[in-house]
Chains A and B, each alone.
Chain A
Amino acid sequence: MTETVRIDFFGGIYNNAHALRAAIADVRRSGSDGIYALGDFGGFGPHPDRIFPLLLEAGVAVIQGNYEESLSSGAEDCHCGYTDPRDNHFAQISYDYTSARTSAQWKAWMGTLPKTRRFEVAGRKVLLVHGSPRKINEFLWESTSPVIFLEKLLRDHDADVLVCTHTGLHWRRRLPSGRLVVNAGVLGRPANDGQTNVWYARLTFGRDVEVEFVPVVYDYEALAREIEEEKLPPAFAETIRTGWWTTCLEILPAKEREKGNF
């Protein structure tokens, strides 16, 4: 029998300590050979400093997202890569809040994190990035990342398996060459599908690579209340309670936008 290795991947956490705790507990219950977090620990939710101890205590290996790059370098905005003024308006509120409440020691820590990680497992070269291998804030959406584009991207960056986040929506695409791309989704906010749960990705490496997207049910009401207590925009709490994105959604491609409520 072939030995298998199981690795769990957390996408953007967006200050959602409630979901992060639930996801860590879930991974521990079901057993795992490693956990990676792909950046964007902050943004959107409340109390950023609650996230980092949870990650370290659980032994999560991390990379920078655009949030960590911006916070550690003192940038004035999140560099999320939005192009619409309404997206940028809400992104700025999130970033200003997170930046003001992230302590200096954690900002310095963020600056020490790698932007990518590579390892080999079961004969496959795995590459972890936040956005895409060529840019930390490039959005890899399911409906706008075609096969020929991904084949070249993985070929250029010498990867058999690419795991990313940044878009907020989870998806996978198996390429004709045998390569695999997985967007792990995010723990930070629901997947714009009217459900309150969030998602992470579990990859099982053996003869093949199995991909499972794991739903995380957590105390979203507690998070929504904290968002309100912190005087963050009511639209953020609405997203947490309804599962529909209300902000930072102009960036969605046509197909992904069609599936949402706004």
Chain B
Amino acid sequence: MQPASAPAGAVSPKAIFPFVPSVSLDTLWFQVAGTLCNLKCTHCFISCSPTNNNHEMLTLAEVRERLREATALGVREYYFTGGEPFMNVEMMAIIEETLRQGPVSVLTNGLLLTPERCRKLKRLSDQSEYSLDIRISIDGYTPEVNDPIRGEGTFGKILAGIRNLADAGLNPCVTVTEACGEAANAQGRTKFLEWMRGIGLPRPRLKILSLFRIGAEEQRLRAYESWESLRGRHLQEDEAEKLQCSSCRMVTSKGVYVCPILIDEPRARMGETLEETLRPFELAYSACFTCHEYGVTCRT
């Protein structure tokens, strides 16, 4: 499923894939827990697990340095993901420091959201003039649907995490992937929203995520087929601006990548400093097809 050879760097007149321009740097992602996770979800597009050290954890000092770079570039918002961000022992300090500079979203599986940690998160949120958004993943509103994907016994643990957030006064955004078949249709959405109200979220926030058929997901359901590609396509300006990669970058322990999805693709590593990565990127990957075709953004 690897794309044909794609030249890095400047636009080539013979490019077979369209290039997305770098319009601005609005959203800065951090692979803050590397690819280390306390779960091993069967649909994970970067195959995170307790033993995956492909990308390492980021330190507070590394994040601080990136925040300094972000200042000059006028970054609007910061997202932290992994792996499981709260496995990073400096995570609370990282959130606190980042919230001084802008809004923060944390993508978590909820397993480490103890009552005490949730209360601390609420304090950090209240101290800041900017939003702290906790996004929590679940793959069904019953253990029967969720656990085969996220792991035996995870449903109850995720539910406890959501309740701890709600008890602390935080209103998380719940994300569900289309691996949960019901999430893809309007009726299923309604059921999810009802379920969320029932577990103590009176203002339920739900985001449905598309699947990327890379990483573990290749084995769970299927890999991309050859037609799922932007080969030969021309990108209109408004189409380009809808793609998250026109206005985001992802920092991992290995450098700066184009987006949160392609961190296992060596050619998606665009450089070491943020500024040098603000150039066009060739949409040579099947995952790019998913974003373009289904209007996917990893933003909340």
Contacts and interface: CB of A to CB of B under 8 A. Distances in A.
A145 interface: yes
B189 A85 contact: yes
Given A254-B133, A258-B171, A148 B205 contact: no
Interface in A116-160: 134, 141-146, 148-149, 151-153
Interface string B120-153: 0000010001111110000000000000000000
Contacts of B205: 250, 257
A141 B300 CA distance: 14
Interface stretch (B73-81, B174-182, B269-277): B73-81
A255 interface: yes
A260 interface: yes
A64 to B, nearest CB: 17
Nearest to A83: B297
Nearest to A173: B129
Contacts of A109: none
Contacts of B74: 148-149, 151-153
Given A254-B132, A257-B205, A144 B76 contact: yes
B189 A148 contact: no
Interface residues of A, number: 24
Contacts of A261: 203
Main secondary structure of the interface of A (DSSP, over half): helix
Contact of A143 (B130, B173, B297): B130
B148 to A, nearest CB: 27
Given A149-B76, A152-B74, A257-B171, A144 B203 contact: no
Interface residues of B, number: 29
B76 A255 contact: no
Contact of A146 (B73, B130, B170): B130
A144 B203 CA distance: 19
A253 interface: yes
Interface string B286-297: 000000000001
B71 interface: yes
Contacts of B132: 254-255
B265 to A, nearest CB: 26
B21 to A, nearest CB: 14
A153 B71 CA distance: 12
Nearest to B241: A135
A123 B101 CA distance: 30
B102 interface: yes
A141 B186 CA distance: 28
B16 to A, nearest CB: 30
Contacts of B73: 152
Contacts of B129: 142-143
Interface in A197-242: none
A148 B101 contact: yes
B75 A148 contact: yes
B115 interface: no
A228 B102 CA distance: 41
Interface in B7-56: 24, 26
B103 interface: yes
A260 B203 contact: yes
Nearest to B67: A148
Contacts of B297: 83
B70 A257 contact: no
A250 B300 CA distance: 10
Q: Closest 6 A-B residue pairs measured CB to CB?
A: A152-B74, A146-B102, A143-B131, A254-B133, A255-B131, A149-B76
7 contacts: A142-B129, A144-B102, A146-B77, A146-B103, A148-B75, A254-B131, A258-B171
Given A146-B101, A148-B70, A148-B74, 19 more contacts: A83-B297, A143-B131, A144-B102, A144-B131, A146-B103, A146-B130, A148-B102, A149-B26, A149-B74, A149-B76, A152-B73, A254-B125, A254-B134, A254-B170, A254-B171, A257-B171, A257-B205, A258-B203, A260-B203
